[in-house]
């Protein structure tokens, strides 16, 4: 098990294609040769933090691979799963119940709107929940897709 130090190269935690190498004349600063992201290292905590991102992404070096650092007090338990399911189901149920109790007049131009509105409510809340999960686990979706496109071209 190797520890994080300033003289080694490591796989890039963002693109997972390039290598993170130390920048000359820059203390505790690394750069990926493929995706060109800049990182700063905390050698005592074995943490690499991306500097050129709006979201402060960081990874912990366990000696073989990068992993997300442990967040004290932010364990995800079954309560969050239940809240996620409720967040996805309750708003469409409210909209759908309103459409069922007060149906549109058949044959009117917007008779389809309550059904579509209920589906859009479900999809919007589902996308919000996925976004929250991606933010919690610090998965850089845009950077990953950009890297995949560069690799394919």
pLDDT at 55: 67
Same domain, 30 and 82: no
CA-CA distance, 153 to 142, in Å (whole number)?
17
Same domain, 58 and 96: no
Same domain, 141 and 83: yes
CA-CA distance, 148 to 142, in Å (whole number)?
10
Range of the domain at 83: 78-145
Which pairing describes strands 19-22 and 38-42: parallel, antiparallel, or unpaired? unpaired
Question: Residue 37 carries which DSSP code?
Answer: -
Overall domain count for the chain: 2
In this predicted model, what pLDDT tens digit does every residue of 35-90 receive, in sequence order? 888 999 988 888 888 888 776 778 888 888 888 765 555 567 788 899 999 999 99
- Examine the fold and report which residue of 67, 94, 116 is the final residue of a domain before the chain moves on: 67
In this predicted model, what pLDDT tens digit does every residue of 109-118 receive, in sequence order? 999 999 999 9
Same domain, 86 and 140: yes
Same domain, 53 and 100: no
- Examine the fold and report which residue of 21, 46, 67 is the final residue of a domain before the chain moves on: 67
- pTM (predicted TM-score): 0.61
- If one compares 17 and 76, the residue with the highest pLDDT of the two is 17
Residue 97 within any structural domain of the chain: yes
Same domain, 109 and 62: no
Residue 107 within any structural domain of the chain: yes
Residue 115 within any structural domain of the chain: yes
- Examine the fold and report which residue of 67, 89, 116 is the final residue of a domain before the chain moves on: 67
CA-CA distance, 92 to 151, in Å (whole number)?
40
Question: Residue 70 carries which DSSP code?
Answer: P
Same domain, 104 and 139: yes
Q: Sign of the C-alpha dihedral, residues 22, 28, 32, 38?
A: negative
| Cα angle 45-49-55, degrees, rounded to a multiple of 5 | 135
């Amino acid at each position: 098990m190797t520890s994080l130090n300033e003289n080694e190269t490591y796989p890039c935690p963002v693109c997972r294609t390039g290598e993170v190498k130390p920048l000359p004349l820059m203390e505790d600063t690394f750069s990926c040769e493929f995706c060109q992201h800049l990182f700063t290292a905390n050698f005592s905590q074995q943490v690499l933090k991306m500097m050129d991102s709006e979201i402060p992404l960081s990874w912990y070096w366990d000696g073989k691979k990068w992993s997300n650092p442990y967040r004290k007090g932010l364990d995800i338990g079954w309560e969050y799963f239940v809240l996620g399911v409720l967040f996805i189901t309750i708003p469409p149920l409210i909209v759908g119940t309103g459409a069922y109790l007060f149906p549109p007049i058949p044959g009117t131009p917007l008779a389809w709107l309550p059904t579509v509105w209920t589906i859009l409510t479900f999809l919007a809340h589902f996308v919000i929940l996925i976004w929250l999960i991606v933010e919690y686990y610090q998965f850089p979706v845009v950077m990953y897709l950009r890297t995949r496109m560069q690799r394919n071209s």
